[in-house]
């Protein structure tokens, strides 16, 4: 899956790794490193020092995973799919599911 096919807010399924089979929403995309951050996936523990605003402790946050380990979920098929792009008559570019030709919306 290339970076241009995924957008912030898409629902994706994890295809490999310790979180295989889980689904989540895309939070951020890091194109320079071909990585992606997904909500509640690949949680890491970070030790935080106390400061004036908050007290310290161990904080859990999402780590990034490689883009090749995720697949975009189609709302209609409910499976991971490849994406086609099409330009509509009004000049708007949309993403289509390659299996059912349904328009894939963000979110």
pLDDT tens digit at each of 107 positions of the chain: 666 789 999 999 999 999 999 999 999 999 999 999 999 999 999 999 999 998 999 999 999 999 999 999 998 889 999 999 889 899 888 899 999 998 887 64
pLDDT in the model for residue 66: 96
Our measurement of the distance from residue 65's CA atom to the centroid of its chain's CA atoms, rounded to an integer in Å, reads 9
Q: Which domain holds residue 11?
A: 3-50+59-81
Residue 23 · residue 13 · CB < 8 Å: yes
Does residue 93 lie within any of the structural domains? Answer: no
Full-model pTM: 0.85
- Alpha-carbon distance of 38 to 15, in angstroms, equals 13
- pLDDT at residue 67 in the model: 95
Note the pLDDT of residue 15: 96
pLDDT at position 44 is 96
Q: Looking at residue 75, which CATH number applies to its domain? A: 2.30.30.30
CB contact at 8 A, 3 and 19: no
Look-up: residue for tokens 């295809």?
Answer: 15
Which pLDDT belongs to residue 75? 87
Considering the domain boundaries, does residue 104 fall inside one? no
For residue 35, tell me if it sits in a domain: yes
The total of structural domains in the chain comes to 1
The alpha-helical segments, DSSP class H, found in the chain are: none
Task: Specify if 18 maps to a domain.
Answer: yes
Q: Give me the count of residues in the chain.
A: 107
- Residue 1's pLDDT is what? 66
Cα-based angle 100, 20, 79 (whole degrees, multiple of 5): 10
């Amino acid at each position: 899956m290339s970076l241009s096919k995924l957008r912030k807010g898409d629902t994706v399924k994890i295809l490999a790794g310790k979180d295989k089979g889980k689904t989540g929403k895309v939070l951020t995309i890091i194109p320079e490193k071909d990585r992606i951050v997904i909500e509640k996936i690949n949680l890491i523990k970070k030790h935080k020092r106390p400061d004036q605003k908050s007290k310290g402790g161990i904080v859990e946050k999402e780590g990034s995973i490689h883009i090749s380990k995720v697949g975009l979920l189609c709302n209609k098929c409910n499976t991971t799919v490849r994406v086609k792009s099409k330009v509509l008559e009004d000049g708007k570019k949309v993403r289509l599911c390659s299996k059912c030709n349904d328009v894939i919306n963000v979110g």
